[in-house]
Every structure is written in C-alpha cells, then in structure tokens.
Chains A and B, each alone.
Chain A
Amino acid sequence: MKKLLTIALLVFTHTLLNAGGFQVNEHGSRAMGMGGAFIAVASDPSAIYFNPAGLSQLKGLKVMMGATFIAPRTTFRGPAPSINEHKMVRQIFYPINLYGSYQLSDKVVVGLGLNNPFGLGTKWPEDWVGRFLATETRLRTFFFTPAVSYKVSDNISIGWGLDFVYGQVLLKRKVDLAPFTGEANVKLEGDGNGFGYRFGILAHPIKDLSVGFSYRGDVTLNFKGTAEAQGPAQLKDRLPSGDVKTSLTTPQNFNFGVAYKVMPDLLLAASLQYVTWSSYKELNVDFADPNFQDISLPKNWFDSYIVRFGGEYNLLSNLDVRAGMIYDKNPIRDEYLDPTLPDSDRLGFTLGAGYKMNNLTFDFSYMFLRVAERTISNSKVYYVGDTPFNGTYNTTSHLFGFNVTYNF
C-alpha cells in the first residue's frame, strides 16, 4: 500500500516540475505586433517589462493597459504504439498588463508595472488515457514592478526595476487505485511569493540606430499549499493529503536587441532572448506529514533562446502597421516532456496595428504560433506502471493582444 502512495506522489511532482516551463512574453500589443523585437525600441510604458531603460524616452504621464488572449489547441496521439487522438480541452487565457510612467525630470522617469510573465495551463478530459499524469494544471504569476530610468547622456539610458511576485499553482490528476476498483482525484493547490529584479540599457550610437540590453533575474517562488484526495473512504489514509511545500525558480532572461530606422516611416528591429532554463536541475517537494516521503526529482532542462524580428511602418499620420516573426526553442528534453506542458519549438508570425486618436493610442496585435509536431519515443514519464507515455504532440495557438494608452 505504501508503494501505491509513492508512485502516486512521484507522478504528481513530475507535473509540478514542468509547470515552470511556461513563460509568456506577450505583455504589450505594440511589441507583440513586432514579434516582440522590442528591446531596442521600448518606447511605450511596456518598457518596464521589455527594457526599463526605454522609460527615459517617455514624456509626461502615461497609463497603458491591456491583455493578451491566448487560445491554444493541443492534441496527443498515443500512447505508442496506439495513435488514438486525444484533444486537450480548449481554454482561453488572458494575461493582463498594466503600466504607468511618469517623467520626474529631464533625466529621470519612474514607472510601475503589473503583468503575468509566467503562467498558462493545460486541461485534459477527465477520462483521457493520460489522466494519471494530469487532468488540469494551472500556474499564474503576478509581477508587480516599480522601475526607474536614468538618462546618462543624450545617447545612453539605463533602467532598473524590482519585482514583487505572487504565484498560484494548481495541479489535478487521477490516481489508479488498483488492485481496488476505481480511481481517486488528487488535487494540489498552493500559492507563494518571491522577489526579483531587472535592469536594462538603451543606446543610440548613431542616428536612426538603437541597441538595447535587458536582464530579468530569476525569481524563487516558495509555494505553500495542500494536497487533497477524493476517493473511497476505505483508502482515505493512503491517499496523499495535508500540507505541502515546494519552490519554483523562474529562469533568468538576457535580452539583446537592435532597431534601425531604414526609412523615415519604417522601423526594423531584431532581438535575441536567452533563457537560462538549465537552472532547473531538480525539484523538491516536502510533505508536512512524515508518512509521505519527500521527493527530489531531476529535471535537467536546457537553456533556450528566442529569436525575434519585427517591423513597424507608419502608413498614415495616425496609423502604424506592424509585423514580425519569432522562433522559440523549447527547453524540455524529450524524456521529460509530459502532457502538463507539451512544449516544442515554436514558430510565430505576428501582425499588428496602432491607431492614435488625440491623447489615446490603441494597439492591436495577432500572433499565430505553430508549435512543431513532437514525437516522443524515449519518455521517462510513466502513465501506468513503467509504461512510458510515448506519442505525438501537436499544438497551435492563436494570440490576440490589445492595449490602450492614455497620454496625460
């Protein structure tokens, strides 16, 4: 019976492990329309996220708010050798963003940001073949970021920000009760806080050219929560329950960007984002109840990178149109990929528009993400017994962003 427990918990913590892989980079519609190649542009209040040095370009008082609607579609075909198709339950996520900037002096601009840089979720049918791995996984983070920029000279600005972070995590799955009939529902829910910082540099070495660098540090979220199981009364003592503690460290992001005004009306930009997912070497989960064995699991992710290209064209005096492309390398090794986060390399195409009306600016953006088909044949994720969860994942995603900015 103790074994039943241990297996249950092993699988359980594995799902938590992968929840860290969700990084959302779409936190401003103008940036999103340009494929996120915004590090050397950063000329609206979302600079707080992309490159706080960019705040120094902003005059007066500005407030910017918006959201990104993300609608992923995922299927799994397997477990091999079966090719039966299993569809993820469709959900729409909407990370929000809210920024304000205020010019204190010629050299100093302060800002305040709120957004959800890590998050997303997956939900599979209650009776699907991988239900012992995951039925629902959700991670949400709120970054509350005060920032300040300083204009060192006409050509160089620097900026800093502090991150006060709150996170929530939810994991649900089923547990096979064999040799007994039936299955139990297990839920792990928790929340926690963390702290981080960021900084950036923006320079204009020659006319019409800008280069930028920004760094977002890692944030360790210490989650506290409870494990809860619903199952037959006979097995009540044997299913995981009680207080649980775990921590999750987000990766560092190094962003390098360049932007060039090719023509008076046309801005082209590119950036490279390097993400240190390799810091995820293992994950530990502590159960307050000493009857449950604490877990320490290896994960060994790769560092990854995202390449971004984008452009903005001033079509009419009050209308900009934008487009961009993204290639996003996934950090998860084949053997650890599981249905809580069926990630793969992503190719994204973006379109956007910005419209100015008096003191208001409206920005819209759309992104189509093709997540490369990924076939796993060496999985170390076991859906029953020691049977690997091999199969083929396919994901596409549509993202819609909008923002409204008010210039006081």
Chain B
Amino acid sequence: MKKILSAIIILSIFFAIGCEDRSELTPPSPPSTGTVSFERFVALGNSLTAGFQNNALYESAQMYSFGKLIANQVGAVYEQPIISDPGTGGRLELEALTTTGVKIKANPNQGQPKNLNLNRPYNNLGIPGAFLYDIANATSSTTCYSYVFGGQENPLFDLILRGRGSQLTQAKGLNPTLVFLWIGNNDILGHATSGATLPFTPPASFSALYTALATELANTGAKVVIANIPDVTSIPFFTTVGPTLHAQGISAVWAVRGIGDTVPVNVLTNYLTLRASDSLAVGKGMSKANPLPSSVVLDSIEAVNVRNIISNYNSIIASLASARDFGLVDANALLNSARAGITVNGIRFTTQYVVGGLFSLDGVHPTNRGHAIVANEFIKVINLKWGANIPLINVATIPGSIILPKGYNPLGLPILPAGALDNLLL
C-alpha cells in the first residue's frame, strides 16, 4: 500500500515540476529576400512615400508608411524624418460621423522633428509636395518645383533634405542596394485638384525627366522598384461631394467652367472636389449668380484630359521599367480594382470617403491600412522578380488611422473648415 501511495506522490511531484517543461516551438524563419538586399534600402517620392495622411505628416502615420511596413517585414533599417504628432499642422480629425455625413476639424497644433540629427540621409526621402522634377533638382524649399515655377515655398524640403542635396544625391550617397521610386502623382494631381486651374507637367517633359532619373538610378547598381500613377479621379477627394448631393436630391449645381462660362453641372458626371464642400456650405452653386468657382469642379472634359495625361505618364513609366529591368508596381490597377471594393485579410475596403477604409480624411492619401495594401503590392513585385519570399503584411493587424478627437456634433454634408485643404500637399 505504501508503495502505491509513494508512487502516486512521486508521480504527482514529477508532473508538478514537469508542467513548466514545455515543448519547444519553432520560431518563424526570417524571410528570404532572394537576390535583393535590404541592407541599404531607400525610398524616393512624394507624400505617398513620406507616409503623409489626413493632410499632415506625423509620427503615428509615418510608422505605417509603406516603406516602413516593408522594412519591418524583413527587419531592415529604415530611418525616417519623424515629426511628432500632430505633425506638420492642420491635421484633419473626424469630429462627428452620422449616417448622412461627417464633420471634420483641423488640429491647430504642430509636432516637433525627432530625428533631425541623423548623421546620414534618411532611408525615407519622400517629400510631401514633390514633383518629378524635384527628385533630382530640388535641394531646398526655394529650389523645389512649386517655388521655381509657382513661387510657393515648401519648407518640408528643408526639413527632410537638411541641406544634404537632392533626394537623388542623398540616395546615391547611401550607396543603395534597393531603391523605391513613386513619383509623378503631383505632376497631374495639382492640376486635377485645382479643377484644372493649375498646370500639369507635359508628357514630353515627364518623359525626359523620368528617363534621366531612371538612368541615374540604374547606374547605382541597386535593384529598383518604381510605381505608376493611379487614376486620381477615383479618389474620394473627387467622388464624395457629387454623389452626396445627388443622394440629397440635387442633380446639378451652378459652376464656372474652365472655359469661363457659368453653367449647371451634373453632380454625377462631373467631379466636385472636397474643397467644394465649404463653398456649398455658404450657399454657392445654388444659383447662376452665385456659382461654385472653377477651382472646385473638375468637369467631365477636364477629367478625360487628366486621364489621358495619366495614361501617357504610365506608358512612359512602364517602358522605362521594362528597359531598365526595374520592378513595376501597378498602383493604377490597384486603385481601379479598389473602386469596385476589395477584400484583404477578411476586411472589405472601398474607395468611399471615411468608411471605405483606404483613404484618410484628406480624400487623397491612404490610411495605415491603405499603406499596408500598397506595401503588399511592392512585396509581390519583389518576390516575383527577385525570387524573394517576403510574407505579405496582414492588413487586419494594422490599426486604423482616422483620428477621432473628443467631441460629437452630428451633421449632414461633409463639412471642412474653410481653407482646410488649400495647402494640401500631394
């Protein structure tokens, strides 16, 4: 009997101790990057590369810039010009959301640069507001395209370039192993978002600039991935106000057209920009005597022209990618597919304003999850082209990024503070 008892006691003690002794699990092996090295990885471009969201550049969005997300997937170093929240100023935040509309406010505060003293170029050199011209030519706020051709200083060039030369110069200085380049959006977007009142880069100039840039990048010996230009008329900046008015029973508004006459414009076949919402709020557009300004309407003819220009740009980009053996991310196809709605990691995304999940409150720039979806397109191209097996980002694990400040004030139409989008950098 005592033997049985002591056997049971010994067994019990054995199991009590044994409980901590668990089987080893195998950690996931680090992904193979194929023939690509992420050791010196640099991204060039504009606000999209920078991680600009909700009309501002700020840390909690920069953490989810598509380049940073990809760097995280492979454990690469990726220094960015971090600006603490709420960032560069005028960040848009969602004050109220109802079934009929949203109310947005601009955060009046600004953050501080946190990584100014990095003694080498940033890996993320994307500058909100950069044009194609700027990649090789802009070195400061007074040498950038917007100043040289429009007299408009862009202080972010000083903040990000820090007097160390152009984006291209700094990229070359890093002796890069991998370069991302996504540029050219602003060369047409400024034209489109201004209702075709601002100039665009003519395709011939675009071709010359991009060809020279592609040669420079090819000469670095780095692997290069470039992305093309999405059809900007698909973004909520253009597709929100018209359909909202239509849902309220308004099928046409009075507006000044590009050619100077004032006509009733159909709210569905023409594009009323988000900027039209503050004009509408003060009664503009409801009579011929008080029309919407041309700058807030991209009419159907202008829109066709915009699409043609983008198509030209994309042909140029595609042929250069092919000639130089660059990876090509078809951002245009991605946005086109998103228009009908896409499901990623079980989550449904559309291009609808606010609730669609892809676009931040400025109606132009992606949310965190939008960035993750873009990042996955880059990863797919790298995996396919260079035999890598970098895992795709699980978009569902990326947090939301439309900011909800305290306060609640349900209203109808999208209401933006007057001028909140006037300085939108693209």
Residues of A participating in the B interface, judged by any CB pair closer than 8 Å? 1, 3, 77, 81-83, 176-182, 232-236, 263, 266, 311, 313, 321, 323, 325, 347, 349, 351, 368, 370, 373, 382, 384-387, 392, 394, 396
Contacts and interface: CB of A to CB of B under 8 A. Distances in A.
A368 B16 contact: yes
17 contacts: A77-B25, A83-B28, A178-B398, A179-B354, A179-B355, A179-B401, A181-B403, A182-B400, A233-B407, A234-B96, A311-B4, A321-B5, A323-B5, A368-B16, A370-B18, A384-B397, A392-B25
A347 B400 CA distance: 44
Contacts of A387: 345-346, 394, 396-397
B403 to A, nearest CB: 5
A382 B306 CA distance: 43
A147 B16 CA distance: 38
A234 B347 CA distance: 21
Contact of A385 (B27, B395, B399): B395
- Give the 7 A-B CB pairs with smallest separation, nearest first: A386-B346, A385-B396, A178-B400, A385-B346, A384-B396, A233-B408, A81-B28
Contact of B408 (A234, A263, A370): A234
B404 A181 contact: yes
Contacts of B26: 83
A168 to B, nearest CB: 30
B250 to A, nearest CB: 24
A178 B15 contact: no
A178 B357 contact: yes
Contact of A382 (B346, B357, B369, B399): B346
Please indicate which of the listed interface residues B96, B346, B368 has the most CB atoms of chain A within 10 Å of its own CB: B346
Contact of B15 (A1, A182, A368, A384): A368
B26 to A, nearest CB: 7
A370 B19 contact: yes
Contact of A349 (B12, B94, B407): B12
Nearest to B359: A179
Contacts, number: 111
Interface string B1-45: 100110011011001101100110111100000000000000000
A394 B408 CA distance: 45
A176 B400 CA distance: 8
B399 A176 contact: yes
Contacts of A1: 355
A82 B9 contact: no
Contacts of A3: 348
A181 B403 CA distance: 5
A81 B30 CA distance: 11
B9 A351 contact: yes
B224 to A, nearest CB: 30
B367 A351 contact: no
Contact of B404 (A234, A370, A384, A385): A234
B156 interface: no
A1 B101 CA distance: 13
A82 B29 CA distance: 10
Contacts of A373: 22-23
Contact of A181 (B1, B28, B399): B399
A370 B11 CA distance: 12
Interface size class of B (residues with CB under 8 A): 35 or more
Contacts of A392: 25
Contacts of B11: 349
A323 B345 contact: no
A7 B131 CA distance: 42
A311 B5 CA distance: 9
A233 to B, nearest CB: 4
B228 to A, nearest CB: 25
Contacts of B116: none
Contacts of A323: 4-5, 8-9
Contacts of A182: 400, 404
Please indicate which of the listed interface residues B8, B23, B344 has the most CB atoms of chain A within 10 Å of its own CB: B8
B8 A351 contact: yes
Interface of B: 1, 4-5, 8-9, 11-12, 15-16, 18-19, 22-23, 25-28, 94-97, 344-348, 354-357, 367-369, 394-404, 406-408
Nearest to B401: A181
A334 to B, nearest CB: 17
B288 to A, nearest CB: 38
Nearest to A350: B12
Please indicate which of the listed interface residues B95, B395, B399 has the most CB atoms of chain A within 10 Å of its own CB: B399
A12 to B, nearest CB: 16
Nearest to A268: B4
B190 to A, nearest CB: 26
Contacts of A179: 354-357, 367, 369, 400-402
A311 B2 CA distance: 12
Given A323-B8, A349-B12, A386-B346, A180 B94 contact: yes
A157 B22 CA distance: 47
Contacts of B346: 382, 384-387
Given A81-B27, A81-B28, 20 more contacts: A82-B27, A177-B404, A178-B369, A179-B356, A180-B404, A234-B96, A234-B404, A235-B97, A321-B5, A325-B8, A368-B15, A368-B19, A373-B22, A373-B23, A384-B345, A384-B394, A385-B346, A387-B345, A387-B397, A392-B25
Contacts of A176: 399-400
Contact of B345 (A311, A321, A385): A385
B400 A181 contact: yes
Please indicate which of the listed interface residues B26, B396, B398 has the most CB atoms of chain A within 10 Å of its own CB: B396
B74 to A, nearest CB: 15
B12 A233 contact: no
Contacts of B397: 384, 387
Please indicate which of the listed interface residues A77, A181, A235, A387 has the most CB atoms of chain B within 10 Å of its own CB: A181
Nearest to B19: A396
Nearest to A75: B22
Contact of B27 (A83, A178, A234): A83
Nearest to B95: A234
Given A81-B28, A83-B27, A370-B19, A232 B348 contact: no
Given A233-B408, A234-B96, A370-B19, A180 B400 contact: yes
B24 to A, nearest CB: 9
Nearest to A262: B1
